[in-house]
Amino acid sequence: MTTIFGYPLVVVLGQLVLGLVNGSFYALLSLGLAVIFGLMRVVNFAHGAFYALGAYAALVGLNVLGVGYWPALLLAPLVVGALGVVAERLLLRRLHGLDPLYGLLLTFGLALAIEGTLHQVFGSSGESYPVPEALRGVFNLGFMILPRYRAWVIVVSLVVCFGTWFVIERTRLGATLRAATENAPLLQAFGVNVPVLVAATYGGGVALAAFAGVLSAPVILVSSQMGSALVIVVFAVVVIGGMGSILGAVVSGLLLGLVEGFTKVIYPEASNIVVFVIMALVLIVRPHGLFGRE
């Protein structure tokens, strides 16, 4: 049997596919963070809470309003994104131009408030969201059984990640957004409503988090704390990719998912710290991250 580092090829392949699934979640979440940091210089600590809010929006939609998975995939990010816009207009906007540390503290407080509210309303034990009918069942890849839903996660994440990258790096809207980061007063002088643009950016980043929340609802327990551990890993991903780099966030998200998957085979105990070890190494060798600009 073919082996890699002493492990059977089939085992390694299976773990790599699973790593790709987890990497897709990392990529989606770090993408939102990178958009918000890249265009607003805000370290959005509330990202995990908005992710949980997205999952709960889908859950409430299903259980209370009878809104299924497919509409929720669009509606939940819209609703949560709108909340993000409100949070930006009411709170974050007041910190504009101050040290990024203030934004970090504010969003951290926001995360605690959101998670506390979810806990108060829904309790601590969490709830399950069913896998949509059309995506039940499995693919037999020969070397492993891959549930259809996990395959869907990979596909849809890649599409959304590429779409976001395209909008920001290749369209006129994206160019305007980037101009707002470079020189807001000048852009304003050209007649662009910059405050609205900034609020929409935050709402967009938050909507990406909520989208990831809906996407993960069928595979993990929906609970108020579901984002709090994940957001730390995702921050490490963003740092490794280079703060604010969209492409960096996506590529490093996927790569780290793969590395983590491989670690789960060779030394499972280290699987939750391997990302941070890599982050430390990257910071030593390339302080601006793999894709960061000086």
Task: Give the angle subtended at the CA of 23 by the CAs of 19 and 29, to the nearest 5°.
Answer: 155
- The sign of the CA dihedral 48, 53, 58, 59 is positive
Q: Contact with other proteins (CB under 8 A): which of 68, 271, 288, 292? A: 271
Closer Cβ to other proteins, 197 or 265, answer by number = 265
Q: Contact with other proteins (CB under 8 A): which of 101, 229, 266, 281? A: 229
Q: Contact with other proteins (CB under 8 A): which of 225, 283, 288, 292? A: 225
**What mask, x for binding other proteins by CB under 8 A, covers residues 178 to 217?**
----------------------------------------
Of 246, 178, 238, residue with least CA distance to 40: 178
Cα dihedral 202, 126, 60, 70 in deg (nearest 10): 70
Q: Contact with other proteins (CB under 8 A): which of 149, 165, 202, 291? A: 149
Kindly state the smallest distance separating residue 266's Cβ from other proteins, in Å: 11
32 touching other proteins, by CB under 8 A:
no
Kindly state the smallest distance separating residue 1's Cβ from other proteins, in Å: 13
**Considering only residues 114-133, where is the footprint of other proteins by CB under 8 A?**
119, 123-128, 130-131
Closer Cβ to other proteins, 106 or 153, answer by number = 153
Long-range pairs, 281-290, Cβ under 8 A, ≥24: 282/239, 282/240, 283/239, 288/242, 288/243, 289/239, 289/240, 289/241, 289/242, 289/243, 289/245, 289/248, 289/252, 290/240, 290/241, 290/242, 290/248, 290/251, 290/252
- Strands (E) across 44-164 are located at 138-140, 145-147
* Phi, psi (deg, nearest 5) at residue 293: -95, 150
Q: Contact with other proteins (CB under 8 A): which of 269, 284, 285, 294? A: 269
> How far is it, in rounded angstroms, from Cα 174 to Cα 179?
8
144 touching other proteins, by CB under 8 A:
yes
Give residues in contact with other proteins (CB under 8 A): 11, 14-15, 18-19, 21-22, 25, 119, 123-128, 130-131, 138, 144-145, 147, 149-150, 219-221, 223, 225, 229-230, 233, 261, 264-265, 268-269, 271-273
